[in-house]
Amino acid sequence: MPKDIIIDCDPGHDDAVALLLAVGNPAVNLIGVTTVGGNQSLDKVTYNARAVLEAAGARDVPVHAGCARPLVRTGQVAAAIHGESGLDGVDLPRPTRPLGEQHAVTWLIDAIMAREPKSVTLVPTGPLTNIALAVRLAPEIVDRVREVVLMGGAVHTGNSSPVAEFNIKTDPEAAHIVFNEAWPITMVGLDLTHQALCTAEVEARIAAQGTALSRRVCDMMDFFRQAYRSNRVFADPPVHDPCAVAYVIDPGIMTTRRCPVDIELAGALTTGMTVADLRAPEPAADACATQVALRLDVDAFWDMVVDAIAQAGARS
């Protein structure tokens, strides 16, 4: 049976690919999408999520808008990477399904509580504000969630600061709440996602599909590549967020290491750092609920993504 997942996101070029992977792979059932201010403002990323689902023919997937800003801090956006719209470089169709009226946080709680315990996996790919508020409003969801597989953090080098990744640094208080709950967490951070580079060869495979969706994905990746070349050291863009969805589909695609992780909140230079304690031998699962992803089977990952885009393109 496919795994029920909820993607909490801030599209974002790589969030868009994560949505397409979830729509196009039969191993997961995307029961809903929630949005959070992050890569761009809440209204922009919410529109982008709806437009991507429209382009993929996934008009049955509900979208609910959530928190526009972090719990405590002033929000920041990543316009230098994702553009003023949050998804610059691509012409997406106008969404036809109305935006869900319920706030994302209350919808998340209701969706989890309405299903069998341990049947829903949360896949946050943006700041963790919505997830943190949900667990504070309804702590009973912790025992009902199957696992949390999030894109965020870094064991070693950050991108928003020398040691902090963008999603975590944007709302470190929310991340602190989420990481200190008892649910199983897999942190798919920069150590792993920087291996998932959309090279020219990968894009050629997508372009060869010849569908309207594949052309849109290539347009997205062309903009994303140029943004990274202009602002970062990467010649090809790392597609961070679909890595989290890929882990849910097939955990064997990654090598993980179990270890305690906590969030730095007060460091003058290190706020938002995901502090992974790797000093001791790897603990057992019943002694430590958190693991970090370190190595990716790159070929298997791209086979999965390319196939999902083909499947979604055929239905759109």
Active-site residue numbers?
Answer: 240
Give strand pairing partners of 273. Answer: 164
- pLDDT of the residue at 111: 98
Could you give the CA distance from residue 186 to residue 91 in angstroms, rounded to a whole number? 33
Q: How confident is the model at residue 232 (pLDDT cuts 50, 70, 90)?
A: confident
Mean pLDDT of 112-134: 98
Domains of the chain: 3-315 (3.90.245.10)
Could you give the CA distance from residue 194 to residue 249 in angstroms, rounded to a whole number? 19
**Three-state DSSP class for 297?**
coil
Tokens encoding 198: 């959309």
> Closest by alpha carbon to 220, among 54, 33, 88, 72?
88
pTM across the whole model? 0.98
- Over residues 300-315, the pLDDT tens digits come to 999 999 999 999 999 8
Tokens encoding 87: 């998804």
Q: Say how many C-beta atoms besides its own lie within 10 A of residue 262's C-beta.
A: 15
Q: What is the mean pLDDT of the chain?
A: 97
- Over residues 264-286, the pLDDT tens digits come to 999 999 999 999 999 989 999 99
- pLDDT of the residue at 316: 79
- Over residues 154-212, the pLDDT tens digits come to 999 999 999 999 999 999 999 999 999 999 999 999 999 999 999 999 999 999 999 99
CB 174 within 8 A of CB 277: no
